[in-house]
A and B are shown apart, each in its own frame.
Chain A
């Protein structure tokens, strides 16, 4: 049976967000304890959006022809994937890349907003819905744009640009995609079905077509910036953030054999889907997941990186669950990383795992967000971090990461 238990290490991290590029920039941004970085309040008004820091994409995507055949969502993901491979020391190592598996959490690529606007004007002007197909789309749509829209083409481009080829799987479903991706990677490595996996996701939040999808579900926060825990009085909502977050997860023995050192170890992961038809269901699922990933921990201070989005009722139910940990003897120190970087949807759970691994490697959590009234300071050395992922619409998950003695120099 494929179920021996191998320890799963985080041996590479690639991050790109409104806080900048790379691991040091992210820890630096969080350590300053200041508010959010790079919020555009005008371009997408009334919705604030965390915009990506200025990045020269050609540093990870050298060929102009590759750059041209991708849209920004794919640029962000391919770039972050390249950073993770470099960080793990496997970039350009042909034999290792050929045995590296790929899992991507994806939505879909961007539409051409100006083409869509043109088609809509024409449809309204002439009252003919079929017009788009026969007159406008065949000349306005570019073949390359269609390729940029296909969900699995982020993975396809990672294979082409970085030569990761052992296998390639793209998971869908908003935050569930990220939860499934990490869970699938961890379980395959733990069971010996894979030795090394590049896993992550990307979001280009600076797209009105994407915002339209979230607004149809009444999920966007339309006001001035507020940390995720402080939006419920106005009905809640998410502030999307552009980001790419990729990890190299690896079997301990495989990493040791090639001399790679870990940031942290992923000890447990569990996911589920609450029905969300009645109040309290999300909280109950989170309690069950907690018992699965933290089965035998004695009460102690517990650092928690929360993937709360700010939408309701999900965020309040997660907060109730976290508050309740006190009564079980845990002293939670919570950090909602979405308050700083925005909600990054498919990339959000991989992003949380990456930040947890970074904090564990240096042994210290970062300070609470400025202006946050829920997050407590934590001064003791951090040995374990619980990462939560609660989808704005569907999907719940949790992972427990642990410090490894032979960690990387930080």
Chain B
């Protein structure tokens, strides 16, 4: 049953034919890749808004074009469009504005920010009432209807669908910090069902704003090691103290191998399988025995019909929080067994921070590039390894290696665990 076009279960093989990337290291793969393998950091002091009084004052931001004001909606859309455009160009698929398949997109929360709320509030008379009564009175004047796209959850997906002309209803999803991986998983399932032959998967997040920072601070999730900023994100290190919030977008074009071959497109990698297991233990912590993370990895391997011996490299979730990195180590140790010290592991978050909703898609692109280029980007700031974590971390400098397959992990608040198995070639 197994062939180039069908996997071992007779399902269509799914390949990636285009990739796009925007991170705090740059726009596009060509700006990102040299900086990734050079071990550079995209983390810096926040200049977008004053940070005095805040415990965390660093982030991995992407600059808005000169002279344009920041809004989460506009900026998340802007980087999503850039990544998708790059992926579609590389895939050479469809015609401009007509992508021949559906869109799966992970987007950050849609909400009004303080500058917008302040404008609304100032517009209505105090006599209209307090708080939201006054905001609603301002909204009824119809002077602010253009703000609707900031609060409609469908709006980024909607704008992307119009821009790229994807088929049917766009699927907008949120599985917290696993969202980017979920877009690829959902597209894979759809292609396996034979409902489409190509799909566009995008994860985007540009939510470095004051309230975003305050929220994660209140959960004690962020690193407060503000100086120097580039040394704050230190996954698997003894002194790690939290993640660094960051912006980014990742996009991939996936197709059935048959569809790609028929149109002469070059596969950049294979989506072998995906696995998912929800945790029911706690809103922000994993089950102490790691069973949900182990379950997600095990299901991904089973779906791909490979064993842990077939995994050459792990692109870790590796957030640099004390909790995540410990649990990820325990789970990987369980799954990899005797190979736990021998499989190179890296966390891109050491360099680009945690791109939250986008992370799974951004890191899938980097994992695919790792296989294409034969170089594993380093986990920087790994100078003082956590003595309880015995992984083969790709410490501080990039490592040349022939990588045929990657396990890409994504875990999120709310017990979301999604793992992808990606390969260089079908097997």
Interface residues of A (CB under 8 A from B): 1-3, 69, 102, 106-108, 111, 113-114, 116-117, 119-121, 123-124, 129-130, 132-135, 137-138, 141-143, 146-147, 149-153, 155-157, 159-160, 163-174, 176-177, 179-180, 184, 187-188, 191, 193, 208-209, 211-213, 215-218, 222, 271-273, 275, 391, 393-397
Contacts and interface: CB of A to CB of B under 8 A. Distances in A.
B215 A120 contact: no
Given A146-B219, A156-B176, 4 more contacts: A1-B11, A134-B54, A159-B414, A168-B415
Nearest to A100: B278
B169 A272 contact: yes
A160 B169 CA distance: 31
B214 A160 contact: no
B10 A212 contact: no
Contacts of B121: 120, 123-124
Interface of B: 10-12, 49-54, 107, 109-112, 114-115, 117-118, 121-122, 130-136, 139-140, 142, 144-145, 147-148, 151-154, 157-158, 161-162, 168-176, 182, 186, 189-190, 192-195, 210-211, 213-215, 217-219, 276-284, 292, 412-416
Contacts of B193: 1-3, 187-188, 191, 193
Contacts of B219: 143, 146-147
Contacts of A151: 109, 153, 174
28 contacts: A1-B194, A113-B132, A117-B130, A117-B131, A124-B122, A130-B49, A132-B211, A137-B214, A141-B215, A146-B215, A150-B414, A151-B153, A156-B416, A165-B278, A165-B279, A165-B280, A168-B415, A168-B416, A169-B173, A169-B175, A169-B186, A174-B152, A215-B139, A217-B152, A272-B168, A394-B158, A395-B154, A396-B169
A215 B151 CA distance: 11
Contacts of B115: 129
B169 A179 contact: yes
Nearest to B221: A143
A320 to B, nearest CB: 21
A286 B158 CA distance: 19
Contact of B154 (A121, A137, A208, A394): A394
A165 B277 contact: yes
Contacts of B114: 119, 123, 129, 132-133
Nearest to A138: B214
Contacts of A138: 53-54, 214, 217-218
Nearest to B414: A156
A160 B218 contact: no
Contacts of B415: 156, 159-160, 165, 168
Contact of A147 (B131, B280, B283): B283
Contacts of B157: 172-173, 176
Contacts of B190: 187
